Amino acid sequence: MTTQKCDIGRIPRIMCELCSIFEEYASADGDGKTLTKAELKNLVEKEMCPMLKEAKNSSRVDDLMSAMDHDGNAKVDFQEFATTIIAFTCICHESMKE
Amino acid sequence: MTTQKCDIGRIPRIMCELCSIFEEYASADGDGKTLTKAELKNLVEKEMCPMLKEAKNSSRVDDLMSAMDHDGNAKVDFQEFATTIIAFTCICHESMKE
């Protein structure tokens, strides 16, 4: 599926989309600023399904939660979310080069 | 412009799109692995235009190049590119909250 090029350029649209995906799932409990484990599980199941099919398995979500939750407060803020997504992207990009 | 939700989830699609945008512009000189200053300028003008309208102004591109080129080798690899895009995204997300 190729995404149409729009006049603002694809990078700003990607940035906005990351922000809105995060807000959409972080708002389930009304907070909108951080992802709880339940909200992260929901995001992973709906938006990252091929990568973490076993998200139904709670320990997989625990693993992801601890990978993302850098400050250990049992919640994932936007910076933690975005940094982890980019780490996954760099790993995928490396594996594409092999 | 809302992007349609596709079954693989929006996150993998964003990750793939970042990889393909980078490769598209990094391949102008046949290398495909790093962005030269000229390739970065082209990417910025076409894909980040609202953020850096003055990309025509070479010193703006120099500023961006030094912001991205963490190892100082006068080229931007994918990790440097993706990390900087996420830093911009976090700044935008913060300013959206104010």
pLDDT at B98: 65
Does some domain include residue A5?
A: no
In-domain check, residue A1: no
**Structural domain boundaries enclosing B68:** 10-97
pLDDT at B19: 93
Region B70-76: mean pLDDT is 93
ipTM over 0.90: no
List per-block mean pLDDT (blocks of 10 residues) for chain A, which spans 98 residues.
Answer: 58 92 93 92 85 64 89 94 92 80
pLDDT of residue B70 exceeding 70, the answer is yes
Residue B54 included in any domain: yes
Residue A4 lies in a domain: no
A72 domain-assigned: yes
More confident: B55 or B13: B13
Q: Which of B2, B4, B89 to mutate to test the interface with A (most CBs of A within 10 A)?
A: B89
Instruction: Give B12→chain A minimum CA distance, Å.
Output: 6
User: At A52, which CATH number?
Assistant: 1.10.238.10
Residue A55, in any domain of the structure:
yes
- Span B5-21, average pLDDT: 83
Do A34 and A26 contact (CB within 8 A), yes or no? yes
Q: Å from B29 to nearest chain A CA?
A: 17
**Tens-digit pLDDT profile for residues B23-39:** 999 999 888 899 999 99
Contacts 24+ apart (CB under 8 A), B59-62: B61/B37, B62/B37
* CA distances, A76 to each of A67, A83, A84 (Å): 10, 11, 10
Residue B4 is assigned to a structural domain of this protein? no
Could you tell me if residue A82 is inside a domain?
A: yes
Q: Amino acid identity, residue A38?
A: A
Of residues B59 and B19, which shows the higher confidence score?
A: B19
Residue B57's pLDDT is what? Answer: 66
